[in-house]
Amino acid sequence: MTGTFRLIGLELRRISLPLVTAFTTSFGSENHRDILLLRVELERENTIFEGWGECVAPNDPTYSAEYVAAAEMVIEQHLFARLAGSERIAAAEVHRLLRAVKGHPMAKASLEMAILDAELRAEGTCLATHLHGDQPLTRDRIPAGVSVGIFADLDQLLAAVQGYVDDGYQRIKLKIQPGWDIDPVREVRALIGPELGLQVDANTAYTRHDAAHLRLLDEFDLLLIEQPLPEDDLLGHRDLANAIDTPICLDESIISVTTALDAIDIGAAEIINIKPGRVGGYLEARRIHDLCRDRGIPAWCGGMLETGIGRAANASLASLPGFTLPGDISAAERFYARDIVVAPITLVEGNVVVPTSPGLGFDLDQGILEAATRSTRHLRSESR
Ligand code: SMG
Ligand code: MG
């Protein structure tokens, strides 16, 4: 790919989208998303190429330290200038150019994503092809999985799960927390039968002292338990992995290829959830994918309730061969009555089709986008 682009402009657009139903996890509940979208303008030989990125930082700093308002601020005050000041810009350089700024992986990932979209559109290449490098694409669709929140009672949970089973989802993930774990899992396993993949996600809600309790999950033949302990407790996860049969999968703890390597080496991560936003971009996500594949660690692509922008990109990432488990890649309608893209992702016999159009693989519906927009800000490179 030719790399003679310069970053000349950035639009920061905040949109608001209602969720079809409230989504409750161990750290809170939300019924709408306040989302930051980025539109970059790259220039090459007097031609402007546009690209879009989505920042997955949530409304509040409860999944991790990042949240949408802070992401917008750090991009505006610290990140944009580091990229706009560079003579040449390429998505592959973004990680290095932004390294001096600590943290803020979701903000950084959204910039890399928008630049990648512009580059790939300029080259006429789709993201899946780009991520595969010189490896052939082996699948044009990927199995869809759905993440199911915490409900007020078991009847509501079972009705929701039945709906997703009827939709054709190939695996179910249940959010759990102390007081909402063994019984919901038992009931859901009874409902869906022994064959359908079932896993749970605690979003750090348990402690090192909960091993005996979590061992009660072993009888339900779960694919995995995701992030039971706080994100900084790698040794606790290692000990838990030794104490229970259900495989330990890390999400929040894995913030880079280095943390992934350490977690695998010490036995804290038997499976890894790869989320581009959490690790600073799709290119770091691919490096973690490569590590997992080389080490024989099963991996899957996580979700952050993305719009059609991030959902298309995630479906492309998840087509890499090391993603051996179904990811949190669902139809857009699982969260949004009306997505902002022209062709929202749907299920095709329980699968999601891997996008093949140039760029990240979506086209925006301008009318829906404008109606959802709450604010826009424009930044320009100072040399222009
Ligand atoms: O996009 O399907 C989705 C959501 C998947 O459960 C999901 N994500 O910890 O894995 C996770 C959660 C984080 C959501 S926080 C906003
Ligand atoms: Mg998770």
Please check whether residue 231 is in contact with residue 202, taking contact to mean a CB–CB distance below 8 angstroms.
no
Q: 3-class secondary structure for 271-337?
A: EEEECHHHHCCHHHHHHHHHHHHHHCCCEEECCCCCCHHHHHHHHHHCCCCCECCCECCCCHHHCCC
Domain made up of 6-124+364-375: CATH architecture = 2-Layer Sandwich (3.30)
Q: How far apart are CA 351 and CA 331, in angstroms?
A: 9
Answer yes or no: is the C-beta of 201 below 6 A from any ligand 1 atom. Answer: yes
Pocket test for ligand 1, best of 142, 304, 334, 352 (most atoms within 8 A of CB): 304
Q: What is the pLDDT of residue 1?
A: 47
Determine how many CB atoms are found less than 10 A away from the CB of residue 255.
17
Q: How far apart are CA 367 and CA 349, in angstroms?
A: 30
175 is catalytic: yes
Q: How far apart are CA 305 and CA 28, in angstroms?
A: 14
Instruction: Give me 365's structure tokens.
Output: 């519906």
Answer yes or no: is the C-beta of 304 below 6 A from any ligand 1 atom. Answer: yes
Please check whether residue 137 is in contact with residue 314, taking contact to mean a CB–CB distance below 8 angstroms.
no
Q: How far apart are CA 192 and CA 189, in angstroms?
A: 5
Q: What is the pLDDT of residue 328?
A: 98
Answer yes or no: is the C-beta of 66 below 6 A from any ligand 1 atom. Answer: no
Return the ligand 1 atom nearest residue 304 CA.
Answer: 1
Answer yes or no: is the C-beta of 359 below 6 A from any ligand 1 atom. Answer: no
Tell me the sheet residues that pair with 148. Answer: 174
CA of 79 to the centre of ligand 1 (A): 26
What is the secondary structure of 80-118 as a DSSP string? HHHHHTSSSB-HHHHHHHTTTS-S-HHHHHHHHHHHHHH
Minimum-distance ligand to the CA of 150? 1
| pLDDT mean for each 10 residues of the chain (384 residues) | 82 98 96 98 96 98 98 98 94 97 98 98 98 96 98 98 98 98 98 98 98 98 98 98 98 98 98 98 98 98 98 98 98 98 98 98 98 98 72
Answer yes or no: is the C-beta of 302 below 6 A from any ligand 1 atom. Answer: yes
Answer yes or no: is the C-beta of 54 below 6 A from any ligand 1 atom. Answer: no
State which CATH number among 3.20.20.120, 3.90.420.10, 3.40.50.620, 3.40.50.1100 fits the domain covering 129-353.
3.20.20.120
Answer yes or no: is the C-beta of 147 below 6 A from any ligand 1 atom. Answer: yes
Pocket test for ligand 1, best of 147, 167, 173 (most atoms within 8 A of CB): 147
DSSP 366: H
Atom 12 of ligand 1, residue of closest alpha carbon:
304
Domain ranges of the chain: 6-124+364-375, 129-353
Pocket test for ligand 1, best of 32, 106, 250, 328 (most atoms within 8 A of CB): 328
Q: What residues are neighbours of ligand 2 (ion), with CB under 5 Å?
A: 201, 226, 251
Angle at the Cα of 267 from the Cα atoms of 261 and 273, rounded to 5 degrees: 60
Name the pTM for this structure.
0.97
